[in-house]
Amino acid sequence: MRGLSVKSVADLKAARLVAPDVALDEVAERYAIGITPAVLDLIDPDDPGDPIARQFVPSADELTTTPEERADPIGDLARSPVEGIVHRYPDRVLLKAVHVCPVYCRFCFRREMVGPQGLGTLTAAQLDAAIGYIADRPEIWEVILTGGDPLVLSPRRLRDLMERLAGIQHVKIVRFHTRVPVVEPERIDDEMVAALTASGKTTYLAVHANHPRELTAAAKAGFDRMLAGGIALISQSVLLKGVNDDVETLAALMRGFVENRIRPYYLHHPDLAPGTGHFRVGIEEGQRLVQALRGRISGLCQPVYVLDIPGGYGKADIGAASITGADGCFTVQDWQGEEHEYWSE
């Protein structure tokens, strides 16, 4: 099985990632499965607590949902004026051209939208409308390509997209959010780097990694290629129970980013996506971990601990004082100073 991608329960069993008698068909019907060869190489199938396996190998726990979970946990649909655009803040938009990924993370906040049965790829007409929306709004300074994973697009299609953004003068920054440099590092070749920078704008790329073992030599080669090509690298990680919810792992991850010239950016509190309760840590625990990082590792290595407020109200820095409350019930302030209730176990 090594060298091939895992895409089904049968593949998982053939790769010895789940026992032959484990029933996962119902999970597989609801949520896509995807593990690339690079990720497979990182998994120790003999370690039942392997932090890489935990992120990608489905489990029956995903069938357990809690009342506060929601299909669209961060409110993308509420803030989508046209297909493929999410417009939450005045100066920036998300552009979601694809809803496919090379891997399918079991904690994914868009798990109801991504995968072969997800929202699919924008049609040519939908992409025209999305680009038109950006072009018509001079206040849009930054376009953030996310999805799905935008780097599943071929370099040719990415180049076409970047060249269209090049023609919109008020857009100054193009940012990509992607798992590809870690889970499919061979895709980060010179052609890909040229495509990512084809807009002539300033290009940022947020590398999504959650455990220091993901920062392999192959991934580093891709980071170096992107940096040499003029792409600024930042990080995004999700705080995940059983993966990185201890100070040692988080410190090694953040230091790993900095050593690879990736500026630590977001540490996300896990979103209320359906069937992901087994990944969620409590907010007080997250704050304790972030606090512990402060005293332990360089200021260069400090991420911002953020919560995406359910309903589409944007991010709040919850490492600081914008969240108050206790005993599972909190009040969190959004960027405009409005308060929202938030429940956490």
Size of the site for ligand SF4 (CB under 6 A): 11
Is 308 among the residues that bind ligand SF4 (CB under 6 A)? no
Select the residue interacting with ligand SF4 from 6, 105, 188, 250 (CB under 6 A). Answer: 105
User: Which residue among 54, 88, 110, 159 contacts ligand SF4 (CB under 6 A)?
Assistant: 110
Nearest to 31 by CA among 146, 96, 147, 114: 114
Query: What distance in Å separates the CA atoms of residue 243 and residue 53, rounded to the nearest whole number?
Result: 9
Q: Where are the alpha helices (DSSP H) in 136-209?
A: 155-166, 180-183, 190-196
- Nearest approach in angstroms of CB 101 to ligand SF4 is 3
7 catalytic residue (yes or no): no
The reply on whether position 280 binds ligand SF4 by CB under 6 A is no
Binding mask 148-187 vs ligand SF4 (x if CB under 6 A, - otherwise)? xx-----------------------------x--------
SS3 323: strand
271 catalytic, yes or no?
A: yes
149 has catalytic annotation: no
Can you tell me the distance from the alpha carbon of 260 to that of 275, in angstroms, rounded to the nearest whole number?
33
Nearer to ligand SF4, 203 or 276 (CB): 276
Q: Decide if 308 is catalytic.
A: yes
Q: Is 157 a catalytic residue?
A: no
Tokens coding 139: 């206040």
Of the residues 17, 33, 43, 108, which one makes contact with ligand SF4 according to CB under 6 A: 108
Does position 119 interact with ligand SF4 (CB under 6 A)? The reply is no
In whole angstroms, give the CA distance from residue 301 to residue 288: 16
Question: Hey, is 328 helix, strand or coil?
Answer: coil
Three-class DSSP category at 106: coil
- Single out the catalytic residue among 76, 308, 334, 342: 308
The reply to whether 271 sits near ligand SF4 by the rule CB under 6 A is no
From 31, 50, 79, 88, active-site residue: 88
Out of 79, 101, 187, 313, pick the active-site residue: 101
What angle do the packed helices 155-166 and 124-135 form, to 10 degrees? 30
Residue at token pair 């890909």: 192
Q: CA-CA distances (angstroms) from residue 179 to 84, 237, 333?
A: 19, 10, 29
Q: Known catalytic residues?
A: 88-89, 92, 101, 105, 108, 110, 271, 308, 315
Rule CB under 6 A: which residues touch ligand SF4?
A: 101, 103-105, 108, 110, 114, 147-149, 179
